[in-house]
Amino acid sequence: MIAGALLALWWMSRAQPDTATPAPAPATEVALAPRRPQRQPIDLPALAASDTMLRDVVSTLSRHPLLARLLATRDLVRAATLAVVQIGAGRTPVGPLAVLKPTTRLQLQSTPAGRIDPVSYTRWDGPANALQSVRAVEAAQVYVNVKPLFDEAYRELGHPGGDFDEAIVKAIRTLKETPDVTTDPILLQRPNYFEHEDPALRSLLPVQKQLILMGPENRRKIMGWLEQLAMNLDLKID
């Protein structure tokens, strides 16, 4: 993705000394200035042929090896669109983000019920660090540049309005609604999965449970980055 900066050029003429100098804008007005970058004039390929372009663009933002693995997959825009939509619906995007799945299994301090071994949280350091390796402001610029492709993929998933901003907002809000957990949660080990002992945590949406299992530090990294992205896109997530 291409880093872009939008510069506002202000010109004040001195040829007319009688003209009153405008008063500086109040701080509240400055704070309301739009952050969202303007779309740069680039020609976009067809959605079905956009993988090469997107790989070239995103690879300029970060050389993180896990991000490179993700970019090596096919149908990148459609996969990313599906992942965001699934997160907004509370589902864990297992399919579209399969390459990010840790190779080791979550461990408990005791079985068949016990607290999560904190070492298990490090399984998700790679995805969290890969996300942080991309500056949110640069990601915002790239997203604005290629947004028509995401809008098209979003329409394909049954959203005729086709404004992918809506999906991003919904996904971030879903994650933000995950309650804070002050201690390592107790899990019950089942034959093929783990289940929270706490009924309140057990009733959470699957993607919220997953966020908790990534550990407090990785959760902080991910949510901090997403909030920065939303801010740079002028998206209201609160």
Q: How far apart are the first and last CA of the chain?
A: 27
Query: Which tokens sit at 177?
Result: 């609604």
Read off the pLDDT of residues 146-157 as tens digits, 9 standing for 90 and up: 999 999 999 999
Domain boundaries defined on the chain: 43-92+121-177+216-232
Number of other CB atoms surrounding residue 189 within 10 Å: 15
Contact of 163 with 151, CB cutoff 8 Å: yes
Read off the pLDDT of residues 76-98 as tens digits, 9 standing for 90 and up: 999 999 999 999 999 999 999 99
Confidence at residue 34, expressed as pLDDT on a 0 to 100 scale: 83
d(CA 141, CA 39): 7
Counting residues of the chain whose pLDDT is more than 70, the rounded percentage is: 86
Residue 32 predicted with pLDDT over 80: no
Q: Is 113 helix (H, G, I), strand (E, B) or coil?
A: strand
d(CA 151, CA 142): 14
Q: DSSP of 187-206, one letter per residue?
A: EEE-SS-EEESSHHHHTS-H
- Which are the contacts of 134, defined by CB distance < 8 A and separation ≥ 6? 1, 58, 61, 62, 67
Rg of the chain over all Cα atoms, to the nearest angstrom: 22
Q: Is 73 helix (H, G, I), strand (E, B) or coil?
A: coil
Confidence at residue 173, expressed as pLDDT on a 0 to 100 scale: 98
- On average, the pLDDT of the chain sits at 88
Confidence at residue 11, expressed as pLDDT on a 0 to 100 scale: 29
Query: Which tokens sit at 228?
Result: 């920065």
Residue 210 predicted with pLDDT over 80: yes
Average pLDDT over residues 23-41: 69
Q: Is 207 helix (H, G, I), strand (E, B) or coil?
A: helix
Q: Give the CB-side neighbour count of residue 117, counting CA atoms within 13 A.
A: 12
Dihedral pair phi/psi, residue 225, rounded to 5°: -65, -45
The pTM of this model reads: 0.84
Residue 165 predicted with pLDDT over 60: yes
